[in-house]
């Protein structure tokens, strides 16, 4: 039996993502909408009616008249952004219990919908973002980047090379082979998914153990269940969604709490894992 089995995130087809959001709004009593396009709020109006709704926005003039009765309106000077395949664009968030939806868009065009489902991350991000938005602590809140495989690998190599601490878990073999050539520190722990010649080879040079069936962490990408691996560094955290050697998505979060938190999470797996013999 797995010590820990969980889905950490999901990327949707656009319409599937909108349907998932609508279902979650219908199920939840309390909903926060942050920097969401007005056309989507209008689309979800039937599901939002009668709920405890908080709407965060940058609209100096406030919400349009037809939306003001939906709930509590909060003006914030903080702009919510995300970096999508190299370009900074608008990012909205929907907070419901135990889940965050991210909506990436330019004007009226939706480019990506994803969700975070790992409860520890959900609670932390929700509390952190509410504090930042209410206190106007920064002009722009942009801590998340989505990469394609090539962009993401380049970002990982650069970050790994500069980091004094590296923790890696359940990464695709092809990526791990490349990452170890960029290591400049001895403070490295690698948790492989299974015992193999590759794992033994890595263990000859770095602290390496095998999780086996202990850590069954996965993601969903447009309806497909895939594997999820991660890298925790000094100042950033990378999540790699893949199946076999195909990388579907790489995302990074740059926020002081995240790499420290994920390092603690990996240490849990490390203590329960098996030595390589």
- CATH at 225: 3.30.870.10
CA distance 42 to 45: 5
- pLDDT confidence of residue 83: 97
Domain of residue 213 covers 146-275
Instruction: Say what percent of the chain tops pLDDT 90.
Output: 65
Q: Are residues 50 and 122 in the same domain?
A: yes
Q: What is the pLDDT along the chain (277 residues), one digit of tens a residue?
A: 445 567 889 999 999 999 999 999 999 999 999 999 999 999 999 999 999 999 999 988 899 999 999 999 999 999 999 999 999 999 999 999 999 999 999 988 999 999 998 888 899 999 999 999 999 889 999 999 999 999 999 999 999 999 999 998 888 889 988 998 999 998 888 887 666 666 666 676 777 766 655 457 789 999 999 999 999 999 899 999 999 889 999 999 988 788 888 877 777 777 767 676 5
Q: Are residues 10 and 130 in the same domain?
A: yes
- pLDDT confidence of residue 1: 44
Q: Are residues 167 and 120 in the same domain?
A: no
CA distance 100 to 141: 16
Q: Are residues 113 and 227 in the same domain?
A: no
- pLDDT confidence of residue 196: 65
Burial of 246 (0-12, 13-18, 19+ CB in 10 A): exposed
122, 99 contact by CB (below 8 A): yes
Q: Are residues 12 and 138 in the same domain?
A: yes
* Structure confidence by residue, pLDDT tens digits, 186-243: 888 888 766 666 666 667 677 776 665 545 778 999 999 999 999 999 989 999 999 9
175, 150 contact by CB (below 8 A): no
Q: Are residues 122 and 154 in the same domain?
A: no
Q: Give the closest residue to 233 by CA, choosing from 182, 162, 179, 171.
A: 162
Longest Cα pair distance anywhere in the chain, in angstroms?
68
* Structure confidence by residue, pLDDT tens digits, 1-19: 445 567 889 999 999 999 9
Q: Are residues 134 and 160 in the same domain?
A: no
CA distance 194 to 210: 6
DSSP 163-231: -S-EEEES--HHHHHHHGGG---S-EEEEESS--HHHHHHHTTSEEEE-TTSEEEEEEETTEEEEEEEE
Q: Are residues 116 and 167 in the same domain?
A: no
**How many domains is the chain built from?**
2
CA-CA-CA-CA dihedral for 21, 24, 30, 33, to nearest 10: -10
Domain boundary at 98, 119, 142, which? 142
Q: Are residues 64 and 120 in the same domain?
A: yes
Domain boundary at 108, 125, 142, which? 142
Q: Are residues 12 and 95 in the same domain?
A: yes
Q: Are residues 60 and 150 in the same domain?
A: no
Q: Are residues 57 and 133 in the same domain?
A: yes
Domain boundary at 142, 159, 194, which? 142
């Amino acid at each position: 039996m797995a010590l820990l089995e969980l889905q950490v995130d999901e990327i949707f087809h656009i319409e599937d993502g909108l349907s998932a959001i609508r279902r979650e709004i219908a199920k939840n009593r309390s909903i926060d909408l942050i920097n969401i396009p007005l056309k989507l709020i209008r689309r979800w109006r039937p599901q939002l009616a009668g709920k405890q709704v908080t709407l965060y926005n940058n609209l100096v003039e406030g919400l349009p008249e037809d939306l003001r009765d939906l709930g509590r309106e909060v003006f914030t000077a903080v702009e919510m952004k995300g970096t999508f395949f190299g370009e900074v664009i608008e990012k909205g968030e929907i907070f419901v219990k135990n889940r965050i939806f991210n909506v990436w868009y330019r004007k009226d065009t939706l480019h990506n919908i994803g969700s975070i489902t790992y409860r520890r991350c959900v609670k932390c991000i929700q509390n952190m973002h509410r504090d930042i938005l209410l206190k106007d602590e920064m002009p722009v809140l942009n801590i998340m980047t989505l990469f394609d495989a090539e962009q993401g690998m380049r970002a990982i190599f650069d970050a790994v090379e500069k980091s004094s601490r590296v923790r890696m878990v359940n990464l695709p073999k092809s990526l791990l082979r490349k990452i170890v050539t960029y290591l400049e520190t001895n403070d490295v722990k690698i948790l492989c998914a299974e015992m193999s010649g590759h794992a033994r080879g890595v263990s000859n040079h770095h602290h390496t153990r095998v999780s086996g069936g202990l850590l069954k962490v996965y993601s969903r990408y447009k309806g497909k269940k895939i594997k999820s691996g991660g890298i925790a560094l000094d100042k950033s955290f990378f999540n790699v969604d893949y199946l076999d050697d195909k990388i579907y998505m790489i995302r990074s979060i740059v926020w002081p709490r995240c790499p420290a938190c994920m390092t603690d999470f990996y240490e849990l797996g490390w203590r329960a894992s098996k030595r390589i013999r």
